[in-house]
Amino acid sequence: MRYLLIISYNGRAYNGWQIQDNARTIQGELNHALEIVLHEKVDTVASGRTDAMVSAYMQTVHFETDKKFNNDKLVHSLNGILDKDIRVLSVAETTVHARYSAKKKTYLYKMYISNIDLPLYTDALRISPNLDFKAMKKFITMLKGTNDFAGFKSSGSEVKDNVRTIYKTQLVRDGMYLYFYITGNGFLYKMVRNIVGTMLKLGEGKLDLNELKRNLFNGYKSNYTAKPEYLYLLNVMYD
């Protein structure tokens, strides 16, 4: 039987989702906890791999087992084993594939607007009040649609198809916070962080909006990658 877990995690102490030798990862910790509870080797598949230090409000993960268990007890047992920066929210029998059945994903990048570092805003990147926020909003609107996002892919990716569909982008001000939301059918390696990096350089006046518009999907290559610890996988949507 296949089961779908919904998990949430603070990724700052981890070297990303994917299991690695000699590195602490979300997948490694989750697999270990499942194997303790189920008394068998378990392979988990996530909706996508989050990078080192990236967090998730809602990540979806499936695994397969013939073992019978009570869903609520499994959640309780797993959370009793996992460190508190990883929580299992629910488990249910499923037919979906966590990765290949996913239709949309939304990422959130958190920023706060201030000239000085503020001690209670450690979950967000400090940005200057002097940025050109109108240009930044125009830029993210240009991202919507189906396009080749090769210019926003970092080296190290083996993916050859760089075409992705972006359904929605938003910049939302809430007090001192500035939230960037992006929803798409999938994302390339470091694509969201490179988009944020480009957006911020544009806001600083270090990039020209008209030139960027001309070259965005035809020759532009982002050399600006935003820090990972302020990026969050917000949710994953299925049919």
Q: Which residues are catalytic?
A: 51
Rounded-to-integer distance, Cα 132 and Cα 139, Å: 11
Main-chain phi, psi angles of 233, to 5 degrees: -75, 115
Contact 152, 222 (CB under 8 A): yes
Strands (E), 117-207: 125-127, 145-148, 163-174, 177-184
Instruction: Let me know how many helices (H) and strands (E) the chain has, helices first.
Output: 5, 10
- Chain CA centroid to CA 164, Å: 15
231-120-13 Cα angle (round to 5): 45
Task: Enumerate residues 6+ apart whose C-beta is below 8 A from 219.
Answer: 151
